[in-house]
Amino acid sequence: MASISLLQVSVAILCFLILHYFLFKKPHGRYPRNWPVLRMLPAMLKALHRIYDYSVKILETSDLTFPFKGPRFTGMDMLLTVDPANIHHIMSSNFSNYIKGPEFQDVFDVLGDSFITTDSELWKNMRKSYQAMLHSQEFQRFSMSTMTSKLKYGLVPLLNHFAEEGTTLDLQSVFGRFTFDTIFILVTGSDPRSLSIEMPEDEFAKALDDVGEGILYRHFKPRFLWKLQNWIGFGQEKKLTEANATFDRVCAKYISAKREEIKRSQGTSNGGSQDLLTSFIKLDTTKYKLLNPSDDKFLRDNILAFILAGRDTTATALSWFFWLLSENPHVVAKIHQEININTDLSRTGNSQENVDKLVYLHGALCEAMRLYPPVSFGRKSPIKSDVLPSGHKVDANSKIIICLYALGRMRAVWGEDASQFKPERWISENGGIKHEPSFKFLSFNAGPRTCLGKHLAMTQMKIVAVEILRNYDIKVLQGQKIVPALGFILSMKHGLQITVTKRCSA
């Protein structure tokens, strides 16, 4: 019995020493050590808490493309790249060979058959139908009136309240609520009213948070492991399952209500709602060749995809933008100057036409998204084997990860000042907006999958920024740790604690 106990203790000590050796031994050269069995996994686990900055270091020292080797037979091998030539090849010039693929759909299974996860003809037909919806004059007017209304009756009263009280608030949470309410109205026609002084918790918004975190962790685990955890209902996978159930239940409620609303409005002179759910249900199936576009599952998947795309990305971009402004007061002064000399803006307010005149503000927002892209990485898989412009061979069905956070910090791409916040890099010599190629600035995707809501998102960020900068002074609390959270969306891990005061000029 004593000998068995001694053996157990010896094995435990040996396992501890091996683990300690793998995780805490100094790195070997410039790259992660490639062990015989575990290969590069120990180095990744050791750097997981700072994975974004770690990816910057690895990609800069490996000429912008790096093959990561996971343990054999786990499906964790992947090619990391930030090479603009590779990105252009994958996203544009050889677009048809690079798809999301079945493994992507498996990892993002909570999104079902939405425009985010689908490929080929189904995706093409979806995109055509969505393009017609989003670019229609009716939806453009509806989106602008929704944003300005939520600004006037939601964001401004809340900021006024905290300014009067003199208490702190989490600006990232405020932006998340603003964009959540706005996109929820645009998609379903209903206002969840999460943006209020009481700051109520919304179960749908909470489920979105759990999904973002869970999806990222699936990228760092062998497929069999997260599948097992999902089956037994453990850890992050349990949260994903619960989130999925929330999405099913909440979406079903809104779909049912919308069908009833459409039925009641038939035969009346009322044109009906302008929200996307109404457009989905009324979609002409012969024109866009979609299978059952009014089917409840199709509607559920695309409600979720649009809300996910419209909430987190814009809220995250605004949060990093205002933090960067707090670190660069000279940029704030220049934006104030631009607003002040724009007499139309002072007189008529935040119309789309007016905010589009603010070139320097546009550059500052792009610069914030270059350094802190709302989506932290992109993922592609080749149908057939290929050779990238960098010379790297990629096998069919292999995994390619485009690291957006690292891309914005590559000196080989953006120059020696790549790590600096400089809105001027987006201003042309004649004072207009300088447009960078999408394969270099990937925040709105590139090629045929370029974001259809790009202009809508930029307009929303501009009207929010103008309203706040013109009427309030934002002060970021000192001492808080501002770091990106580990997730598919590059949000702030601990939020952004601020105090707000009304400007005298306001």
DSSP string over 144-172: HHHHHHHIIIIIHHHHHHHHHHT--EEHH
CATH label of the domain that carries residue 144: 1.10.630.10
* pLDDT at res. 44: 75
pLDDT in tens, 94-144: 999 999 888 888 988 998 888 888 887 888 888 888 888 898 999 999 999
Long-range CB contacts (within 8 A, 24+) of 415-420? 419/371
The boundaries of the domain holding residue 53 are 35-502
Beta strands in 163-230 (DSSP E): 169-170
Q: Is 212 helix (H, G, I), strand (E, B) or coil?
A: helix
pLDDT in tens, 313-332: 999 999 999 999 999 999 99
* pLDDT at res. 125: 85
**Residue 9 domain flag:** no
Please report which helix (H) or strand (E) contains residue 500, including its range: strand 497-502
* pLDDT at res. 395: 94
Asked if residue 471 lies in contact with residue 506, where contact means CB atoms within 8 angstroms, the answer is: yes
pLDDT in tens, 152-166: 999 999 999 999 999
Please report which helix (H) or strand (E) contains residue 405, including its range: helix 404-407
**Residue 22 domain flag:** no
**Residue 40 domain flag:** yes
Low-confidence ranges of the chain (pLDDT < 70): 1-31, 34-37, 39, 267-272, 285-286, 288-294, 343-352, 505-506
Whole-angstrom distance, CA of residue 191 vs CA of residue 178: 11
* pLDDT at res. 320: 98
Whole-angstrom distance, CA of residue 402 vs CA of residue 227: 24
* pLDDT at res. 17: 47
* pLDDT at res. 392: 96
* pLDDT at res. 120: 79
**Residue 26 domain flag:** no
* pLDDT at res. 292: 59
The total of structural domains in the chain comes to 1
**Residue 25 domain flag:** no
Whole-angstrom distance, CA of residue 317 vs CA of residue 361: 13
**Residue 117 domain flag:** yes
Residue set of the binding site for heme = 451
Residue set of the binding site = 451
Asked if residue 374 lies in contact with residue 489, where contact means CB atoms within 8 angstroms, the answer is: yes
DSSP string over 250-310: HHHHHHHHHHHHHHHHTTSS-----SHHHHHHT--HHHHT-SSTTSHHHHHHHHHHHHHHH
Whole-angstrom distance, CA of residue 204 vs CA of residue 307: 10
C-alpha distances in Å from residue 363, one per residue of 57, 170, 458, 484, 489: 26, 25, 11, 22, 22
**Residue 480 domain flag:** yes
Burial class (CB within 10 angstroms; exposed 0-12, middle 13-18, buried 19+) of 381: buried
* pLDDT at res. 126: 85
* pLDDT at res. 3: 45
**Residue 2 domain flag:** no
